[in-house]
């Protein structure tokens, strides 16, 4: 059966990998909305999707989701089966500087999309959320139960909480089948340059010290981008009714110090560290309870961290990934 999928933020890190995976199926057409904003170099996002521009199954719309009228024109032109909403202002630290911009894109933009979905009676909406919604002090591993929420530390996290709330309201009021997927620290080829693994690799490569905020004992649940894409695809196929929140992570963690050591070993370069105070907005720990994802989506992350770091380094050093 032919399917027509819309992906917002589809030229970005996670979105472009999802596009790659979906276009392997000749029965799926993919439309991408991306505004190519300069948060990081737009040329890198254009490279992410360059191979698909001549594919008749692929369409690109250079549109900002906060531009309501332009957004409606995208929906007027096509009939979509599913909207996967990955477009967002990302980055905890930048949100401390530009909170209003984050609110416009991540909350207002999400409402604009949901309005289009409601008007066009599109069967499914998938929202790319974040582990940051659990906040500081939530019991680990983080489970989707509403009670398991700590202190929200950044405007970015607050906008993701608000985005989920808006999704729930539209699901319950208008009957839109909606899944919010909480991503846990995604990494891999094409990773944004502001994210830890990419930033650390760039500093190691140039012989510069790595700034470590805190004592290096903070830990994260790092998830390879291919496993995240598998989870999104499973959510697209899941026969959901109403509203669901589902974690996509690995349930395995590593400290910041160990992560840096692993990257340095993979690059076969010396590491220098600059110790700094903890940054505002950063969680000290994340770890996903993925039992719900396993039960509902048959989700099973396949790429262990060491292998995923190796794949990232291959891409970082050569522009491609070893098979």
SS3 170: helix
- Cα–Cα dist 166/113, whole Å: 11
pLDDT (0 to 100) of residue 323: 44
Residue pointed to by tokens 């995923």: 308
Identify the structural domains of the chain with CATH numbers, from first to last.
3-186+224-249+287-301 (3.40.50.720)
pLDDT (0 to 100) of residue 278: 82
pLDDT (tens digit per residue) in 36-94: 999 999 999 999 999 999 999 999 999 999 999 999 999 997 899 999 999 999 999 89
Q: Which two tokens stand for residue 116?
A: 């289009």
pLDDT (0 to 100) of residue 148: 67
Residues of the chain with pLDDT under 70: 147-148, 321-323
Q: How many CA atoms lie within 13 A of 306 on its CB side?
A: 4
pLDDT (0 to 100) of residue 321: 67
- Cα–Cα dist 122/129, whole Å: 20
DSSP state of 278: P
- For residue 156, indicate whether it is catalytic: yes
pLDDT (0 to 100) of residue 286: 94
Q: Which two tokens stand for residue 243?
A: 């509203």
Q: Name the catalytic one among 102, 156, 187, 299.
A: 156
- Cα–Cα dist 128/14, whole Å: 10
């Amino acid at each position: 059966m032919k399917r027509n999928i819309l992906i917002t933020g589809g030229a970005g890190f996670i979105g472009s990998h999802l596009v790659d995976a979906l276009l392997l199926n000749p029965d799926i057409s993919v439309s991408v909305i991306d505004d190519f904003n300069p948060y990081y170099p737009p040329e890198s996002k254009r490279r992410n999707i360059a191979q698909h521009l001549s594919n008749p199954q692929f369409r690109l719309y250079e549109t900002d989701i906060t531009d309501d009228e332009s957004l409606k024109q995208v929906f007027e032109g096509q009939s979509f089966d599913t909207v996967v909403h990955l477009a967002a202002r990302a980055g905890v630290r930048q949100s401390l500087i530009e909170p209003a911009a984050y609110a416009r894109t991540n909350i207002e933009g999400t409402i604009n999309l949901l309005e289009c979905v409601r008007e066009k009676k599109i069967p499914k909406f998938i929202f790319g959320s974040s582990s940051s919604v659990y906040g500081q002090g939530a019991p680990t591993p983080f489970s989707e139960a509403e009670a398991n929420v700590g202190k929200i530390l950044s405007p970015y996290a607050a906008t993701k909480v608000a985005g989920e709330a808006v999704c729930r309201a539209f699901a319950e009021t208008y009957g839109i089948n909606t899944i919010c997927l909480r991503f846990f620290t995604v990494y891999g080829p094409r990773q944004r340059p502001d994210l830890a693994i990419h930033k650390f690799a760039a500093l190691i490569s140039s012989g510069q010290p790595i700034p470590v905020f805190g004592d290096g004992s903070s830990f994260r649940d790092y998830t390879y981008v291919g496993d995240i894409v598998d989870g999104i695809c499973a959510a697209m196929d899941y026969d959901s009714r109403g509203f669901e929140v589902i974690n996509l992570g690995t349930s395995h963690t590593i400290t910041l110090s160990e992560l840096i050591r692993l990257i340095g070993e993979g690059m076969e370069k010396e590491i220098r560290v600059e110790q700094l105070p903890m940054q505002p907005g950063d969680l000290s720990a994340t770890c996903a309870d993925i039992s719900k994802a396993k039960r509902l989506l048959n989700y099973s992350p396949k790429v262990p961290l060491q292998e995923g770091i190796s794949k990232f380094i291959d891409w970082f050093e050569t522009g491609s990934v070893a098979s």
